[in-house]
């Protein structure tokens, strides 16, 4: 098998970037022997942690050790003090730009600019960032095609659980009629804890303590995060150019323990469900709390786990359950996309 060096430029080195580095540190030799791909990090650009570049490769273990000890990457001999993300994308010799900056579902920035620059420079892009994909995927995919490169977005929905790949590559010919899912682990964890007797406020505080919810949990509990994933599913699976404003969105902050207990007594369970369904030739998109019978495949999905449920003409109902967040699962989503680029 011919071996091929694949040089990676990382935009961002938070939890996801560190998860990717850990996977490469542990599985580099396996990917080399199995796929003939020598995956090397050659550049890192993080506004808070620093900028590094070595055209021959940076040691993933060294990066993780430096972050663990100092919390930043400054002071190394490969440091590029004058660089920022755009400079790195333009000047480094990466084959793939791995975009992991923070998510903005209102503008998609700054990630959209990073992705546009990378594609314009004829570099492949893989990203876990929902903002650019929910808001600008059609334009970005066209730009990638025009420049003869690819954009991978598997990690934008359910992390490394291969939701988009399953639907686009396996179920597409089965004629998907409806998609519904638990697309936000934070809210699913809160609802699970409320069923166990916690108040909404206590369950939210518990989720924040465990790192599932941010200090400002609005994006999760009011359904914005799940709505972004519904838009991505609509655009990539249903080929419908809907926007965030097209999603009928209600969060879980209005639910009480009494509501949860009433459903429980009726043999039902509250879940925050993202849904897409064609009704009279129109695609109806929503994110809202729903009472599901315990017999429904999504009703038994507890904790911070995510799930997607597809209703198709030829395969009937298919349910995929797995992690929707986390350092290693999301890092692996990027590996999925990188491997797909070079195996195709």
Q: Is 177 in the same domain as 318?
A: yes
| Alpha carbon distances (Å) from 218 to 17, 105, 204, 225, 246 | 24, 12, 11, 9, 19
- pLDDT > 90? residue 213: no
Whether residue 189 lies inside any domain: the answer is yes
How many domains would you assign to the chain?
2
Residues 17 and 109 in one domain: yes
* pLDDT, tens digit (0-9, with 9 covering 90-100), for 55-72: 999 999 999 999 999 999
Closest CA to 66 of 57, 56, 76, 55: 76
CATH number for the domain that contains residue 145: 3.40.50.720
DSSP 8-class letter at 97: E
Residue 166 covered by a domain: no
C-alpha 292 chain-centroid distance: 26
* Annotated catalytic residue 130: no
Q: What is the CATH number of the domain that holds 268?
A: 3.30.360.10
Classify residue 290: in a domain, yes or no. Answer: yes
Tell me, yes or no, whether 144 and 68 share the same domain: yes
Q: Are residues 230 and 303 in the same domain?
A: yes
Please identify which of the residues 229, 239, 264, 288 carries the catalytic annotation.
229
The torsion of the CA quartet 114, 117, 118, 119, rounded to 10 degrees, works out to 120
> Are residues 29 and 135 part of one domain?
yes
282 and 337 together in one domain: no
User: Percentage of the chain surpassing pLDDT 70?
Assistant: 100
Mean pLDDT of 203-230: 92
Residue 35 lies in a domain: yes
Rounded Cα gap, residues 333 and 268, in angstroms: 33
User: Residues 223, 238, 319, CA angle at the centre, nearest 5°?
Assistant: 65
pLDDT for the residue 320: 98
326, 90 Cβ separation under 8 angstroms: no
Same domain, 83 and 152: yes
Residue 5, pLDDT above cutoff 70: yes
Q: Return the pLDDT at 344.
A: 67
Query: Could you tell me if 338 and 305 lie in one domain?
Result: no
SS3 206: helix
Asked if residue 262 belongs to a domain, the reply is yes
Q: How confident is the model over 146-184, as pLDDT tens digits?
A: 999 999 999 999 999 999 999 999 999 999 999 999 999
DSSP state at residue 167: I
Task: Classify residue 8 by its DSSP letter.
Answer: E
pLDDT tens string 119-130? 999 999 999 999
Q: Is the four-CA dihedral 301, 306, 311, 316 of positive or negative sign?
A: negative
Inter-axis angle of helices 130-146 and 111-120, to 10 degrees? 10
Contact 330, 151 (CB under 8 A): no
Q: Is residue 190 part of a domain?
A: yes
Q: What's the predicted TM-score (pTM) here?
A: 0.95
Verify that 332 and 306 share a domain, yes or no. Answer: no
In a domain, 167, yes or no: no
Q: Are residues 219 and 188 in the same domain?
A: yes
Q: Which domain holds residue 61?
A: 4-160+327-343
- Residue 165 falls within a domain, yes or no? no
* DSSP codes joined into one string, 248-314: EE--STT--HHHHHHHHHTTEEEEEEEEEEEETTEEEEEEEEEEEETTSTTTT--TTEEEEEEEESS
Average pLDDT, the chain: 95
Question: What b-and-e string marks burial along 114-130, b requiring 16 or more CB atoms within 10 Å of the CB?
Answer: bbbbbbeeebbbbbbbb
Name the nearest CA neighbour of 50 among 23, 81, 25, 29.
81
pLDDT tens-digit series, residues 273-322: 999 999 888 999 999 999 999 999 999 999 999 999 999 999 999 999 99
CA-CA distance, 60 to 18, in Å (whole number)? 9
For residues 140 and 37, membership in a common domain is answered with yes
Contact 275, 287 (CB under 8 A): yes
Residue 21: exposure state from Cβ atoms within 10 A (0-12, 13-18, ≥19): buried
Give the integer Cα–Cα distance in Å for 300 and 49. 40
> Residues 205, 267: one domain?
yes
Question: Residue 8 forms beta bridges with which residues?
Answer: 41, 96
């Amino acid at each position: 098998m011919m071996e091929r060096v694949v040089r990676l430029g990382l935009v961002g080195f938070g939890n996801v970037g560190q998860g990717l580095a850990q996977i490469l540190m542990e599985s580099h030799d396996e990917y080399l022997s199995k796929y003939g791909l020598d995956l090397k990090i050659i550049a890192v650009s993080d506004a808070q942690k620093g900028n590094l570049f070595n055209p021959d490769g940076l040691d993933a273990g060294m990066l993780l050790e430096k972050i663990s000890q100092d919390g930043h990457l400054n002071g190394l001999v490969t440091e590029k003090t004058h660089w920022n993300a755009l400079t790195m994308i333009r000047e480094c010799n990466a084959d793939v730009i791995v975009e992991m900056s923070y998510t903005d579902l209102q503008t998609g920035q700054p990630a959209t600019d990073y992705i546009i620059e990378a594609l314009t420079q004829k570099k492949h892009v893989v990203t876990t960032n929902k903002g650019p994909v929910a808001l600008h995927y059609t334009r970005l995919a066209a730009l990638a095609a025009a420049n003869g490169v690819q954009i991978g977005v598997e990690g934008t929905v359910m992390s490394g659980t291969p939701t988009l790949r399953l639907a686009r590559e396996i179920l597409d010919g089965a004629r998907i009629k409806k998609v519904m899912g638990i697309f936000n682990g934070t809210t699913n964890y809160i609802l699970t804890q409320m069923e166990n007797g916690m108040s909404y406020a206590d369950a939210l505080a518990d989720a924040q303590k465990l790192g599932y919810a941010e200090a400002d949990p609005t994006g999760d509990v009011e359904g914005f995060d799940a709505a972004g994933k519904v838009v991505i599913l609509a655009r990539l699976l249903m080929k419908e150019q809907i926007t965030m404003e097209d999603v009928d969105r209600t969060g879980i902050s209005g639910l009480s323990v009494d509501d949860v207990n009433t459903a429980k007594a009726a043999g039902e369970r509250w879940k925050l469900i993202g849904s897409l369904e064609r009704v009279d030739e129109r695609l109806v998109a929503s994110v809202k709390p729903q009472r599901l019978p315990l017999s429904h495949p999504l009703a038994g999905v507890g904790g911070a786990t995510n799930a997607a449920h597809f209703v198709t003409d030829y395969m009937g109902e298919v349910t995929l359950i797995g992690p929707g967040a986390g350092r290693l699962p999301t890092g692996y989503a990027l590996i999925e996309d990188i491997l797909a680029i070079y195996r195709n």
